[in-house]
């Protein structure tokens, strides 16, 4: 949404380098705003880290759960008890701690920071930033779990 409003995107992609390159810093400044590039950089890292943490939580279903399930089904009582403990540990760590809590906290920080930047710089309509800030919390933050 920012590119079309500040950079004439996608039409500028058909322009020569002499037009595109001088316009690029102006578009970047319009997005980050005076005095807020650090906030935008921090928000970007928080958002990217959130994706990695959430992905870690989801990938446990691909890489961790199948071997645990196989060992639990085919193993003896001691193996099943070990798989139960391993399941609990990886589910609480990879799913609950990393994927849900830390991933969600970082995405909240990313969202709030971007909304504040939208409202302060007016690079997008102010109502957009305010609306995103005031929307209801996702179900995972209300205790639904993953």
Q: For the segment 17-43, what is each residue's pLDDT rounded down to a tens digit?
A: 888 777 776 655 555 555 556 888 888
- Cβ-in-10-Å burial (0-12, 13-18, 19+) of 95 comes to buried
Six-digit token pair at 78?
A: 């001691």
Name the residue ranges covered by the structural domains of the chain. Answer: 1-32, 35-142
Summarize the confidence of residues 113-133 as an average pLDDT: 81
| Rounded Cα–Cα distance for residues 98 and 142 (Å) | 17
Q: What is the pLDDT of residue 145?
A: 45
> Mean pLDDT, to the nearest integer, of 114-140?
77
Number of Cα atoms under 13 Å in the Cβ half of residue 137: 9
CA torsion angle 52 6 9 129 (round to 10): 40
What confidence score (pLDDT) does residue 144 get? 44
Distance CA 75, CA 7 (A): 61
């Amino acid at each position: 949404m920012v590119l079309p409003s500040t950079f004439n995107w996608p039409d500028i992609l058909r322009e020569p380098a002499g037009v595109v390159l001088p316009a690029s810093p102006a578009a970047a400044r319009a997005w980050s705003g005076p005095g807020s590039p650090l906030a935008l950089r921090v928000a970007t890292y928080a958002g990217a880290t959130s994706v990695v943490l959430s992905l870690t939580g989801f990938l446990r279903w691909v890489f961790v759960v199948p071997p645990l399930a196989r060992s639990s089904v085919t193993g003896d009582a001691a193996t099943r008890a070990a798989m139960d403990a391993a399941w609990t540990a990886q589910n609480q760590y990879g799913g609950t701690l990393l994927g849900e809590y830390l991933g969600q906290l970082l995405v909240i920080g990313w969202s709030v920071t971007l909304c504040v930047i939208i409202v302060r710089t007016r690079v997008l309509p102010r109502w957009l930033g305010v609306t995103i800030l005031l929307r209801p919390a996702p179900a995972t933050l209300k205790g639904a779990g993953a």
